[in-house]
A and B are shown apart, each in its own frame.
Chain A
């Protein structure tokens, strides 16, 4: 009962966030000094004033601003994000056609980073030895190196030096390896640092001592007890990063010439294709809201203390 109530509140708050994001994006784009008709037709001087008016009417640009806003919001609620000025396709179809590629990339990258971080944490938490120092240094490198640089290095070695993987384009799983590795490595550092910190703390707790007095090895205490404690902050970071990647793996997608949301966002911004930009903004807001709700539910699964008291 309490859960249903909280879920309802969260959904309501999520809707408010979406509405705020939409309104803000709408306002900002109105302030841009650009003429939509020019965007739609390019710098073609043959457009007659009559044609210009027709185009404005087609896109609803002749209406007063508040009507445009009302229309935008009401269409958005029904899932209609409008039509691209440039591609003459609906924004929804543009996003969905690129989404698959981005989701694959983001999921695999987060999965890779998460696995690496779990391994690193299990191997080094609660210890003070050479392995810990090596892995800590690797994390530091990962945190402080920009993703595109990791990508360029990987390309240099694994595509040019030894042509194992393709340089650009989408050629099945082979072309996924380097982008996934790039993002995964860039992500791993933060995740691993946070998880180990948390696991170090868990291992200092009395329950870890209790577990050891039952005959568990240090390894078993980490695996069976401390890991779950480390999952709580890791979940937050991984989810947030996943959301960020869905909407903005722009640079990595650019480096590897991959299709994806990042690429269409970049194009749309460059061409002032307002409906697409608005669509992407709304989509990112939607992704973040959804992921946050899911993560809040996952916390309850991991940490029973957060479950509502009966």
Chain B
């Protein structure tokens, strides 16, 4: 007898009129037993998160939930609001992504973890503190006693995600629902959290895992349900799904996962991307050189004696975990940060040593695409104004703007129709395309991409990566690609530098470094990379 039995679940978000209604989930059925893990995988808008929320009765006031959800033989969808309160936390634990905002930033960790116990009166007051310490220790937080009074922002990403999991476990629920529990984390921490969740599964919890990334759930899930547009398009064991996907969408999802296999191929179509309008042979000259650069914040060297060369027309990947100094290095390259010692030169001339006034006329040569375009745009600007700002900064003749705007949008796969939209009215992928268009408007030679796809789901990520590679081929761009995701770096880069604690620990051609890593840290990064089972049909 399964612990959780979902039959014919339908979720409909009721709008103001019939046309505005959204059918988020249609006819979803699955079951989940204790000690088992079912993963629901799909892109944003596939209905996976709505499903997770409906299972705890929090799909929203405007959600019409039909079908049947029974937990241990008890029908949940018929519960009154009052009875739901008794189920949440006690029978079902819920873990969201990004503990920085999923834990109350104004409350101490100890109090957050204790809340479920207090709410359900599971223990007498005096024993709660001891139990919280026990829980924190159980999820792998060392010296738990001293962490009780810490706030979420004072813990590292990994520690606070563990604390969030501890808070979901504190009511000792039989079912744990984890909605994108590792999405905000770097690969090393992600591997740790997945291991922790696996431990929960071994200990007999039923685990429902929600993710956009098939690779993440591969090792943990006993069964995978692939969702698209509210419908389960395919389900089966990981071996079935990976080795012999039946559905086109599943195949597309698998193909979209960037890795060494996919180098030089389009992630969307899977075909080889022969350069159609290649700009010919670019002379292999160094365009940017960093020499023994050091940048210290407080007492810590964020970048510690780093030297590297970027050659014209190549893509240089910079990989490292959070805090490894890769973003500071990117800022040095951008000329946004000056090294305390050492130098950065652009096209053989001083770059970091320039006075800002001298640097400004050259700024257009190095352009940035950042992780979160939502915060890189003025939310009140339309796409047209966003692009105009760049065109104006480059001092293009006003009469050429209209034509340039259209050309830019076209080059990133958007159209005139997007000109009047504001950032909020665009999807995540479209926003990143506009960010790229804005960078291109400056006619740069070097594009610095700082985690450009980390905030996107796998399918959208595939499209943006395809776009970047296409632009590189057509425009002869040089790309510095900063990421924590080895798979992505492997896919896009010609050469790679691995950073750890501010230093470059390894560098070389991608094939060499990742096929035979010499440094322990590179090996650790590789080991942490979520892996598809062998024999995946690509």
Contact = CB atoms under 8 A, between A and B. Distances in A.
Q: Do A and B come from one complex?
A: yes
Interface in B37-92: 53, 56, 58, 85-90, 92
A214 B92 contact: no
B85 A216 contact: yes
Interface string B138-160: 00000000000001011000000
A225 B104 CA distance: 7
A211 B170 CA distance: 13
Contacts, number: 77
Interface stretch (A4-12, A102-110, A143-151, A298-306): A298-306
B1 interface: no
A213 B56 contact: yes
A215 B88 contact: yes
B104 A212 contact: no
Interface in B94-112: 94, 96-98, 101-107
Interface centre among B94, B105, B120, B171 (most CB of A within 10 A): B105
A160 interface: no
A115 B221 CA distance: 51
Given A206-B98, A213-B92, A214-B171, A305 B151 contact: yes
A215 B171 contact: yes
B323 to A, nearest CB: 15
Interface of A: 205-207, 209-217, 220, 224-225, 228-229, 302-305
B94 A210 contact: yes
B58 A215 contact: no
A222 to B, nearest CB: 12
A303 B151 CA distance: 10
B115 A207 contact: no
A213 B88 contact: yes
A192 to B, nearest CB: 21
B391 interface: no
B104 A207 contact: yes
A99 B171 CA distance: 55
25 contacts: A205-B101, A206-B101, A206-B102, A207-B101, A207-B103, A209-B53, A209-B58, A210-B94, A210-B103, A210-B104, A210-B167, A212-B56, A213-B88, A213-B92, A213-B93, A213-B168, A215-B89, A215-B171, A216-B85, A228-B107, A302-B106, A303-B106, A304-B106, A304-B151, A305-B151
A213 B88 CA distance: 5
A209 B106 contact: no
Given A207-B101, A305-B153, A215 B93 contact: no
B105 A212 contact: no
Contacts of B421: none
B205 to A, nearest CB: 15
Given A214-B116, A215-B85, 9 more contacts: A206-B96, A210-B96, A213-B89, A213-B168, A214-B119, A225-B104, A229-B106, A302-B106, A303-B105
B290 interface: no
A299 to B, nearest CB: 11
Nearest to A210: B102
Contacts of A215: 85-90, 116, 119-120, 171
Contacts of B107: 225, 228
A209 B96 CA distance: 9
A207 B96 CA distance: 9
